[in-house]
Amino acid sequence: MRTLAIGDIHGCLDVLKLIWKTIDPQPEDQIIFMGDYVDRGPDSKGVIDYLIGLEKKFNIVFLTGNHEEKFFLSHIDKTDLAHWLDVWGGGATLDSYGGSTDDVPQSHWDFLKRNKPYFETDTHIFVHANLEPNTPVDEQLPFTIIHKKFGTPEPHCSGKVMICGHTAQKGHVPLNLGHAVCIDTDPGRGGWLTCMHVETGKIWQANLDGEVREGQTP
C-alpha cells in the first residue's frame, strides 16, 4: 500500500488525468487530495466531476481548501462573489459551469461539503494550508488549516510530519523542511501538479503542456 498526496489542482483537468494515469493508483493505496480543486484553470467543473468518479472506486480523502470555501461563500453573498471573481480566479470556474453559481449541480455542492479539514495517520498530518505548532490538530482554527501561508513552520507538537498545499512554490518543486512539506507547485499558473509518495518521498509531476517528470522530494 502506498500513501499518495496530490497537491492543488486549480481547475486543470487534463493535468489531473495525466498525473492519475502516471501514478496508476491501486485499490489498496491511500490517496489524499490537498484541496483547491477550483479556480484559475480551464475546467473546474470537469475536475470535480472526475474526482466524484474516483471517489467511488478508490480509498481517497478529499481535504477542503480556501478556494472551495470562497466558492461556497460566493454562492450566498454577492460581496464575496465580486471578490472571488476579481481576485481569486473564480471567473474561470463560473465559465466552466455555464456562467453562474446557480448552474452548479447539487452533487458538486454535496461533494465539497463532505471534504475534510484534515487527515491524520500514525506518522503524518495532512492539511490544506498549515498548523499551529503547539495546538492539537483537532483544535486548530479554520483560518490556520485553510488559509495560513506555509512560511517556516515549527515542528508540530504531535511529532508528526505535516503535508500541505496552498502556498504555491514558484520553483515548481515541493518545499521540504523535514518536519513539514508543501506540495503546491502551481499548475493553474504555469507550474506543475505534484503527487508525492509519502513513504519514500518520490514525486511525479505533470503540467498543462502534457509533460511528465519524476524525481525525489528535495
- List pLDDT tens digits, range 82-111: 888 888 889 999 999 998 888 999 999 999
Expressed as residue numbers, the domain containing 41 is 3-216
Structural domain count of the chain: 1
Question: What's the rounded mean pLDDT across residues 51-62?
Answer: 96
Average of per-residue pLDDT values in the chain: 95
Q: How confident is the model at residue 146 (pLDDT cuts 50, 70, 90)?
A: very high
Q: Residue 112: count other Cβ atoms within 10 Å of its Cβ.
A: 21
Q: Judge whether residue 205 has pLDDT over 80.
A: yes
Mean pLDDT of 14-30: 97
Cell of 130: 498549515
List the CATH number of the domain containing 51. Answer: 3.60.21.10
Task: Please tell me what DSSP assigns to residue 116.
Answer: B
Tell me which long-range contacts 149-152 makes (C-beta under 8 A, separation of at least 24). Answer: 150/175, 150/180, 150/182, 152/177
Asked if 216 contacts 202 with a C-beta cutoff of 8 angstroms, the reply is: yes
- Confidence band for 199, pLDDT divided at 50, 70 and 90: very high
Query: What's the CA gap between 27 and 41, in Å, rounded?
Result: 28
Helical H segments across the chain, by residue range? 13-23, 44-55, 66-76, 78-87, 90-97, 106-113, 142-147
Q: How far apart are the first and last CA of the chain?
A: 23
| Confidence check: pLDDT of 133 > 80 | yes
CA-wise closest residue to 41 among 78, 94, 77: 94
CA distance 200 to 63: 22
